[in-house]
Structure 1
Amino acid sequence: MNLGYFIFDMAWCVYYRTEGLVMLLHHTMSILGILLTLWLGESGIESCAVLFGSEITNPLLQTRWFLKHSGYYDSFLGSLVDVLFVVLFVFMRVFVGGAMLYCELSSPRPKFIIKCGGVAMYALSWVFMVDIARFVHRKTQDRHQRRRREDVNGLSVKRD
């Protein structure tokens, strides 16, 4: 499964101090969820689905990192990657994740502890959503201020 990945990534994040508390909490909850699923010997499909939904945006985050470090982030491609990330994150974490959580909570099969883990992961998705909303707001404000400066400096052509 993904246990090795999360343990390695958690160690990397802690050692190099590359991530904040929310991401470390995500890794911790993922590790504990995988261990719990393996220990119980059940709810593997739920665990895999949650990991798939929470990691599907990872390639876009990696692309964003490479664009930043190669100097191409402030381009159309950088904006496209950001938009795709936000749309995919919202769709997978809020809508698909919400539907999955509803199914899990309404089913009598998963144990109570598994249901609690599902609620915790969904709640963490909303914490990430707040961070993403702040990012979108900040990026939109930066773009708006840049355009205002261009207008003041006469760099934008206005049509009558």
Structure 2
Amino acid sequence: MDDCIVSLIATPWGFWSLAYVVSRLLCPRRSKDFCNRLVSMLHVALSLLLCGISVRDWSHPLDGIGGPSTFPQMLALTVSLAYFIYDSICCLVELPFKLEDQIHHAITIMGLAYGYLLGSCGTELVACLMLMELSNPFMHARELLKELNLKDTSYSFLNDVCFALVFTFARMIVGPFVVFFTVQADGSPAVKVGAVGIQLVSILWFWRIARMVLYKLKKRNLKPKSS
């Protein structure tokens, strides 16, 4: 059983590692962080696709909360768990160490691994994963645009606005409903605590993102207009 679990995680982990190697070969002049974020963008697309497929009924997306995980939900959890293991190792080996990123990775890996091993609570875990990934393309795009020397352009400003709007919708509007139903359901206490914890962290990030957008707006308004 243990060998089977290791094999199931190792296969998609190898895929993400290979994707990073390919990105380095295709973009030899770009930084390691740039290439890793390209892999992260790929994960966002695949993760959202798998999470979307795993929803049994979009008119009642939280049906089955607290219950056994379905095969599509387990697949979504496995692929993302392998990605976060890869990303954690990549950030340690290839990129400058950032304590905040490693803590975030550790918490995410523990949550996904717990749900994977438990074989239940797939509905709420997939919902949480989907909400987390919705705003990530814009977050990664911020760093990609910086390396492409497009930091102070209209593209960067529009991306930051979209990042703030999508994050607010996913984490501050939809997120609390998911947390409420997760806490109310007859699911794992650990998953409930994790859901509350993620929501609290989201509130902190929301404050930081709001400050960033306000700063960008102020900077944009003060920028002298060309004659």
TM-score using structure 2 length: 0.59
In the other structure, the counterpart of 2:195 is 118
Deviations 1:108-147 (A, max 9, x none): x212111111111111111211221231233234334x43
List runs of 5+ in structure 1 lacking aligned partners: none
Identity fraction in percent: 29
In the other structure, the counterpart of 1:79 is 157
Deviations 1:70-114 (A, max 9, x none): 11232211111111110000100111111101111122x212111
Asked if 1:133 is matched to 2:183, the reply is no
Residue type matched to 1:120 in 2?
G
In the other structure, the counterpart of 1:17 is 96
Larger Rg: 1
Aligned ranges 1:52-67 → 2 under 5 Å: 52-67=130-145
The root-mean-square deviation of aligned C-alpha atoms, in Å, is: 1.9
- Give the alignment partner of residue 26 of structure 1, picking from 104, 113, 121: 104
- 2-side partners of 1:122 and 1:25: how far apart? 16
In the other structure, the counterpart of 2:38 is none
Deviations 1:39-95 (A, max 9, x none): 211111211111111112222222222221111232211111111110000100111
- Give the alignment partner of residue 90 of structure 1, picking from 168, 174, 180: 168
- 1-side partners of 2:213 and 2:112: how far apart? 32
Question: Does the Cα contact within 8 Å between 1:26 and 1:124 map onto a contact in 2?
Answer: no
List runs of 5+ in structure 2 lacking aligned partners: 1-77
TM-score using structure 1 length: 0.82
Structure 2 CA distance for partners of 1:80 and 1:18, relative to 1, 3 Å: farther
The Cα shift of 1:30 comes to 0.9
- Give the alignment partner of residue 220 of structure 2, picking from 143, 149, 157: 143
Higher relative contact order by CA 8 Å / sep ≥ 6: 1 or 2? Answer: 2
Structure 2 CA distance for partners of 1:140 and 1:73, relative to 1, 3 Å: same
How many residues are paired up?
Answer: 148
Residue type matched to 1:61 in 2?
M
Greater than 4 Å deviation, 4+ residue runs: none
Question: Does the Cα contact within 8 Å between 1:6 and 1:27 map onto a contact in 2?
Answer: yes
